[in-house]
Amino acid sequence: MASFGPGGRGGRGAALLKAMKEPMRRPGEPPIVTTATGTSPTRHPHTPHTQHSPPAPPPGHPHPSTSSITTTAPAKPATPPSPRPLTPPGQSHDGSRDQSRSHDQSHDRGNGVRGGTVPLQATPTQALGRKAGTGRGILAFAKKESPQPGTAAPIGTGHAPRAPPTSVPPTTSTTRVGGGGPTPSLLQGHPLPSSMLTPPLSQATSSTLSQDTQASKGSSDLVKTSGKGRASLLQQQPEEGVASSGSAHLEKGVRKMEIAQREESTINKKGTSGAGVRLSANYLRVVAEQDGVYQYMVSFIPQVDNKNLRYRLLNEHKDVLGDTRAFDGSTLFLPVNITETTLVLKSTLQRENTEVELRITLVAVVAYAESIQLFNIIFKRVLRALELKQIGRHYYDPSNPIPVPQHKMELWPGYVTAIQEYDGGLMLLFDVSHRLLRTDSALDFLYELYSMHKDRFQDEATKQLVGSVVLTRYNNRTYRVDDILWEKNPQSTFTSHSGEAISFVDYYKKAYNKDIDDLEQPLLVHRPKRTKGDPRQGPEELICLVPELCCMTGLTDQARSDFKVMKDLAVHTRVAPNEREKSFRKFVENINSTPEARNHLSRWGLHLEPAIVQVGGRKLNPEKVFFKKKFVVSEEADWGRDSVKENVISAVTLKNWLVMFTRRDQSKAMDFVSMMKRVCPPMAIQVNEPQVVELPSDRTDVYLHALRDSINPHLQLVVIVFPTSRDDRYSAVKKLCCIERPIPSQVIISKTIAQEKKLRSVTQKIALQMNVKLGGELWAVEIPMKNIMVVGIDVYHDTIQPFARRSITGFVASMNSHLTRWYSRVAIQGQQQEIIDGLKLCLLASIKKYHEVNSTLPERVLVYRDGVGDGQMQAVEQFEVQQMLTCFKDFGDDYNPRVAVVIVQKRITTRIFSTHGNKLANPPPGTIVDHTITRRGWYDFFLVSQHVRQGTVTPTHYTVLHDTSGLKPDHLQRLTYKLTHMYYNWPGTIRVPAPCQYAHKLAYLVGQSLHKDPSEKLADRLFFL
């Protein structure tokens, strides 16, 4: 048994496993817990128990800051590998806002949703309050009851861990600490062991690396490829230490080297319609002074298993290899040729006094177009030479923060960079970025939550923190919070790499010179991402973090809904086109004026052009937006005024509807009803007197009981007025109205209709939304193609316990030739599964419904798939597209519709500017770019569909994965632009085609509130708006 914290709690705490030794951790890494399972532990029910409110944080409460770490490890620490980061949702301005501020529309967020994991079993409760010498005592926070001593929380399924390195006894396992260190271990059927809790590893623990190998982070940086159809940088290497087939071929005769040249794309993706416009984009040309880089295979005889030792041995031969190189342990890249065959070098292992032979064999000369991954590694060194710090995937300047003190926030300016081969050649994609940090720690955030939610503190803390991203300033790394260990605290111990038990308090003091004040705070857990089915992976590692040393990042939901906060941040984050262009020029000047940064490029024969790329584009003609009696044309793609004055295409009369409200909201609700009667007739919507239900209180069960009593087969729609916004109440009402008693429903927050001056405008928008939910049609655009079915697909990952890690697929398909009526289905998949297994069922149901409505099958099926990254393209093409193609045979062997599958990517770094002399501006809606900055070998294009008045507009990237539709590029581009006009929650164009946004809204509603399939009785209406 181990003791946890003061007060003799050791006898009641969970029993600890036998300490497991760990191999040496990388520098800068946090404490880690290694488990022998790939599954999440299960949280058991808890009963919160508190005695005292926490005292206010003392003035001058210290926040984490970066400090050096000293250990007895070898000199010259290697740059630690950064854990795979999960960056908080972006805050790009897309202009696609909803019409009203009703509660239904306030859920149109989609980003910023936290993920959840199932936490571990809790320990006994303990009083909350300050104890002498223990800081603020947050671990005592309303502890929840745990099983009796001696019982264990089930932790996963115990499969045998991978065999440890020879330097570690077979009976030991890996252990790391909260920010990048040894990792403790969890085994099935045992409580959490002390040995599995470890803090972030200190620096200076790995062997000496050469300058150019420190950044490569192992073989994965050089082996991985990016994009569709990209050839691998590294060829398959034979086993080291033995004669390879490549060597055998070289003995027979050195084969001639060929520089790989990418074939010019034969895909016809250029359109011609529209007027030509002068544009530029945030790309800088990378000029190469030579044809390629030289790739060598390095083998060691006798074989050397330790990768750091391989680096050291290779580093001894700088006189032959030079200072410029990239080495991943087996493959070496050089900018110059050192041998035509095989070069043999010799080194000596000092400890064993053993001679090692290094055989360096020329494999190929790799063209620059195929060296993308290498160049991105080189450019990271350039950014480090500019003294930028890597946080997550990108680099920021912590020395020039932009304070936002009124909201306890600060912004770190930085850059997003990526080198890639495009149709216009090798280019650097570059943009200005900002990292939002909150000056409060995770511990401060926990105390704030406790003050507001004492009765359900642990549940609320888990909901708010799990899925968020924190920054540890002592090593400038970000971690996604996957769990909270309520039963552990900084006094808990783990087994260090030296085999001794050490507490988190002592570890952070020794490694980072950080003092931890609150000795009772719980520990945060980060689970590094694992590759499914990879046999080389060892036991699961859990990185343990101390909240007091973690800085909160990103925005809370409360902050996002605060207009003042968002306005103050937008002053700094919404950068106008001209300001961006100045940043680009300054960036290139900084590289050229910094010798170290400039040399990193010049050694490889590279340099950047100073000006951004100029590109010709096209502007499509404005679309005619048709109402029942007239049409409108807007250069800015905005018809908000016309939408509330003109007759809608198809109006549904509100004959039998119900309005439900509490007694204190009675006057607001009746004012809303009166305004409905005045504003609806101009839109050709007839409104009868509603049934009125006044509730005595705003308790959730009161709402549900009244709804069950009121809903009947003749009722068309229910309007519920909430006094305040509460997610649990909203979810309960939506479950009843979408699943139990299916009926269209409209939820309104009372303050939305409280202001008399805004009531008319708000009511008009709510009336349009209600008409759509009843099956009405508001406006349309001209669709020249007939008998076509357009499909939108999006995936949302559920975050609410106990449904966390499920994936919700929203599937929406058009049912008429005007693309104004839609049919929706939902598919629920397993944990974090992006590929849609239930796609076939959704498509089959949609085609059957289309036949039922139109008495014919669609001749063309056009699918827009949202939420797919470049790395998922191949999987979508192999699985999702194939599922769709096979389901057509269910309608007969002769049924073979023309199909196009288009990937929609809206969270991209590309920015397009309209050029007017020396000034830049945002391009108008309808701007198309389909060359130069598009990907070579891909069928893709960029479309700016929305009008933006502040900041820089972000285009949407469309990639056609599969195409037998017979549509010309012009036709596909114009149809895509037309579909951005058809989202009925906003009277203007949006960033993505309407079916994608509808699919997102549906998936979000199900994942956030329903957690079940909605009733099929509502499937032919847009009930989820």
The string of pLDDT tens digits covering residues 79-90 is 333 333 323 233
Query: What's the confidence (pLDDT) of residue 107?
Result: 42
Identify the bridge partners of residue 808 per DSSP, sorted by sequence position: 796, 828
Q: Is the pLDDT of residue 408 over 60?
A: yes
Predicted model pTM: 0.74
| DSSP helix, strand, coil percent of the chain (3-state; round to 5) | 25, 25, 50
Q: Is the pLDDT of residue 405 over 70?
A: yes
Identify the bridge partners of residue 340 per DSSP, sorted by sequence position: none
Which of 221, 410, 866, 880 is catalytic? The answer is: 866
Q: Is the pLDDT of residue 469 over 50?
A: yes
d(CA 484, CA 100): 37
| pLDDT confidence bin for 103, thresholds 50/70/90 | low
Highest mean pLDDT range out of 128-137, 546-555, 693-702? 693-702
Which of 107, 947, 957, 1000 is catalytic? The answer is: 1000
Residues 6+ apart with CB under 8 A from 438: 408, 409, 445, 551, 552, 553
- Cα–Cα nearest to 941, from 914, 917, 975, 898: 975
Q: Is the pLDDT of residue 789 over 90?
A: yes
The pLDDT of 830-845, averaged and rounded, is: 75
Query: What's the confidence (pLDDT) of residue 323?
Result: 85
Place of tokens 């590692």: 541
Residues 6+ apart with CB under 8 A from 791: 811, 812, 813, 814, 843, 846, 861, 862, 863, 864, 995
Tell which wins on pLDDT, 76 or 853: 853
Query: What's the confidence (pLDDT) of residue 371?
Result: 87
Q: Are strands 394-396 and 389-391 parallel, antiparallel or unpaired?
A: antiparallel
The token pair at 679 is: 């504003």
Query: What's the confidence (pLDDT) of residue 35?
Result: 40
Write the DSSP string, 515-577: ----TT--EEEE-----TT-TT--SEEEEEE-GGGEEEES--HHHHT-HHHHHHHHHHH---H
3-state SS class at 440: strand
Q: 3-state SS of 882-921?
A: HHHHHHHHHHCCCCCCEEEEEEEECCCCCCEEEEECCEEE
Query: What's the confidence (pLDDT) of residue 917?
Result: 85
Q: Is the pLDDT of residue 29 over 80?
A: no
Residues 6+ apart with CB under 8 A from 39: 156, 157
CA distances from 675 to 116, 639, 678, 760 (A): 42, 22, 5, 7
Q: Is the pLDDT of residue 215 over 80?
A: no
Percent residues over pLDDT 90 in the chain: 50
User: What spatial distance separates the first Cα and last Cα of the chain, rounded to whole Å?
Assistant: 55
| pLDDT confidence bin for 249, thresholds 50/70/90 | very low
The token pair at 971 is: 């036709």
Mark whether 1000 is an active-site residue: yes
Give, as one character, the DSSP assignment of residue 855: S
Query: What's the confidence (pLDDT) of residue 234?
Result: 32
d(CA 823, CA 816): 10
The token pair at 67 is: 């400090």
Which of 98, 794, 798, 880 is catalytic? The answer is: 794
- Lowest mean pLDDT: which of 106-115, 608-617, 736-745, 988-997? 106-115
Percent residues over pLDDT 70 in the chain: 72
The one-letter amino acid code at 713 reads P
Query: What's the confidence (pLDDT) of residue 837?
Result: 65
CB distance 356 to 300 below 8 Å = yes
The pLDDT of 17-27, averaged and rounded, is: 31
Mark whether 866 is an active-site residue: yes
Mean pLDDT of the chain: 76
- Lowest mean pLDDT: which of 118-127, 772-781, 847-856, 976-985? 118-127
Q: Is the pLDDT of residue 925 over 60?
A: yes
d(CA 621, CA 277): 12
d(CA 348, CA 210): 17
Please, how many CA atoms are within 13 Å of residue 301, restricted to the half-sphere of its CB?
A: 11
- Lowest mean pLDDT: which of 160-169, 542-551, 678-687, 885-894? 160-169
CB distance 821 to 795 below 8 Å = no
d(CA 358, CA 360): 6
Give, as one character, the DSSP assignment of residue 11: G
Give, as one character, the DSSP assignment of residue 1007: I
Q: Is the pLDDT of residue 949 over 90?
A: no
Which of 727, 834, 859, 877 is catalytic? The answer is: 834
Q: Is the pLDDT of residue 239 over 80?
A: no
Q: Are strands 717-722 and 657-662 parallel, antiparallel or unpaired?
A: parallel
Mark whether 851 is an active-site residue: no
Please, how many CA atoms are within 13 Å of residue 494, restricted to the half-sphere of its CB?
A: 40
Mark whether 581 is an active-site residue: no
Which strand ranges, in their side-by-side order, compose the sheet holding 342-349?
326-327, 331-334, 292-301, 354-367, 342-349
Q: Which helix (H) or strand (E) holds 333?
A: strand 331-334
